[in-house]
A and B are shown apart, each in its own frame.
Chain A
Amino acid sequence: MRTLLDRFVWPMAVPVGLLVLWEVATRALGIRSIILPPPSEIIEVMVTRYDLILTHLWPSLYLTLTGFALSVVGGVLVAVLITTSPLLRKSLYPTIVVSQVVPKISIAPLFVVWFGTGMTSSLMLAVLVAFFPMTINAAMGFQSVDEDILRMARTYMGSRWQIFWKIQMPHALPFIFSGMKISITLAIIGVIVSEFVASQEGIGYLIKFAGGLLDTPLMMAAITALSLTGLVLYWLIAEAERLTVYWQSTSEFGSGGQV
């Protein structure tokens, strides 16, 4: 009973309270829907126009997941290369770290020039923004193994292969999951921004389109659908982490950073 209160009731109290306040305020003050529709109207639009929202949500979701998957696989592979080859570490790692400074979202129009207005552009941007945090987190995980543990393994003549799979890989898992939590959020941002810039479909396009029509309720319904999708994706990763990284208490690693 107590855990139910702590886990659900208290965390939900603030958002629910805000929604109620929002609803009451917009009605009492007679704020027009075009400026700020009440939550009830947004939900109504989500229900009545669900097919339109879903039609645009699917391509965005597909691109997000593809971009995320490519980032995770590519990021971990590059991290392994950086970890195993001192030459690559010395040459590649500084570039990767410094490239973090570039606001990669600003490259979106350039990608339209290069790859056109289709899905390729969106996918490339998603990978571009989601790839680096993944790489850096995984590399940190592989390289932050306690020197004493490595020494212990060398005492028993552990090979590089054994040390990688039996020590570095499991040690890196919590770092990889932290990277995944950052990457999934960034992949969504990459896709949406790319759809803002030039696209004929996708939830980003729908938001921009509704904005152009001054259809604020539709715009906010699309934003809500997008936010819920992001929430579910994040939650899925957090659950996967909880099951995989069973030796960590969740409180320590429950919150992944956001960039």
Chain B
Amino acid sequence: MPSQPNGRTAAASPAPADPLPAPPGPATGTPLVRLSGVRKVFNQLEAIRNISLDIGDGAFVSLLGPSGCGKSTLLMMIAGLVRPTSGEIRVNGEVVTGPRADVGVVFQSPVLLPWRTVLDNVLFPVELLKLSKAKYRERAMELLAMAKLADFAGALPRELSGGMRQRAAICRALIHNPSTLLMDEPFSALDAITRDDMSVELLRIWQANRKTVVFVTHSIREAAFLSDRVLVMGRRPATLVEDITIDLPRPRHIAMTEEESFNGYVRHLRRSIEASHADAP
């Protein structure tokens, strides 16, 4: 596991040869997710207009915008579940034409299968991808231990709290060791206190695994607290309004949200969103 989380400055570090199995080395500037001229039209309504961006390997990037601005659609396009009307999306250098084995997705709701134990839910992608379950069992237990769910491996989802279920869903998204983790407002159904805890937990898990994370949220605080970089999206049709680098030290603690440097970013992001509203017709 890489020890230096704040590796975005080490731009010259060589890219790993095989991107899938090994956890990526210290984050580099190598784009892992690349969108060029992505546009989406639903029923002749332009939902997303010409978005181009590069997301570096191992970076934690948030897509921030108001509800219904098309940020989830953008994420689902990266996941290969929705096709862009025009433009191109690449993950690990390959054009996305459908779901991929090197991507993990966490949805808004945990979508655990109620008849499976937590462990078997975490192993579900392994089953679908026809990988050896025995080989991944140990990794599943490690992930569950990291998510503080080791004692609940044999429990059914209904025995878990909302936060625990979403943590199990994160373990499931990581089980096949994807290079990219896509998260679609994963904490929006949780209460505020659990949400803060989950943010800290997520950063801890991310710190240990160093995936490239694309995190969709409508919470300014959440985006600022979690991310290396926040992409502010405007509404209808969605465009990138601003691209802000959050230069706060890692590991991050919830106490940092009271510091002036953090609040500066929050204010900046809020102004940026308000400005994008003002622009809209």
Contact = CB atoms under 8 A, between A and B. Distances in A.
Interface in A137-152: 146, 148-149, 151-152
Nearest to A152: B111
B171 interface: no
A155 B111 CA distance: 12
Contacts of B114: 247-248
Given A154-B81, A155-B99, A148 B111 contact: yes
B99 A247 contact: no
Nearest to A162: B128
Contacts of B158: 247, 249
Contact of A156 (B115, B125, B156): B125
Contact of A155 (B103, B113, B115, B156): B103
B115 A170 contact: yes
Query: Which of B103, B107, B108, B176 has most A Cβ within 10 Å?
Result: B107
B225 interface: no
Contact of A247 (B105, B109, B115, B129): B115
A157 B101 contact: yes
A157 B107 CA distance: 16
Interface in B111-147: 111, 113-115, 124-125, 127-129
Given A146-B111, A167-B113, A247-B114, A155 B81 contact: yes
B113 A149 contact: yes
Query: Which of B103, B108, B128 has most A Cβ within 10 Å?
Result: B128
A32 interface: no
A160 B79 CA distance: 19
A49 interface: no
A152 B105 contact: yes
A151 B124 contact: no
Nearest to B172: A152
A166 B127 contact: yes
A149 B124 contact: no
A170 B121 CA distance: 14
Nearest to A170: B115
Interface string A217-258: 000000000000000000000000000011111000000000
Interface residues of B, number: 24
B99 A157 contact: yes
Nearest to B103: A155
A65 interface: no
Contacts of A69: none
Interface in B46-101: 79-81, 98-99, 101
A114 to B, nearest CB: 44
A248 B158 CA distance: 9
Contacts of B124: 156, 166
A167 B114 CA distance: 10
Interface string A89-126: 00000000000000000000000000000000000000
A81 B245 CA distance: 53
A125 to B, nearest CB: 36
A153 interface: yes
Nearest to A147: B111
A153 B125 CA distance: 8
B96 to A, nearest CB: 12
Contacts of A156: 99, 101, 124-125, 128-129, 176
B156 A157 contact: no
Contacts of A146: 111
B99 A148 contact: no
A151 B128 CA distance: 13
A253 to B, nearest CB: 12
Contacts of B107: 148, 151-152
A155 B100 CA distance: 7
Contacts of A245: 115
A248 B115 CA distance: 8
Given A156-B99, A156-B124, A247-B114, A148 B81 contact: no
A149 B115 CA distance: 13
Contact of B99 (A154, A167, A170, A246): A154
Contacts of B79: 155
Interface in A159-175: 159, 162, 166-167, 170
Interface of A: 146, 148-149, 151-159, 162, 166-167, 170, 245-249
Q: Which 9 A-B pairs have the closest CB atoms?
A: A156-B125, A156-B128, A158-B128, A247-B115, A155-B105, A247-B114, A148-B111, A152-B111, A170-B115
21 contacts: A148-B107, A148-B108, A151-B111, A152-B107, A155-B79, A155-B80, A155-B105, A156-B99, A157-B101, A157-B128, A158-B128, A159-B128, A162-B127, A166-B113, A166-B124, A166-B127, A166-B128, A170-B113, A245-B115, A247-B114, A247-B156
Given A148-B111, A156-B176, A247-B158, 18 more contacts: A148-B108, A148-B109, A149-B113, A151-B107, A151-B111, A152-B111, A154-B99, A155-B99, A155-B105, A155-B125, A156-B101, A156-B125, A157-B99, A162-B127, A166-B113, A166-B128, A167-B113, A170-B113
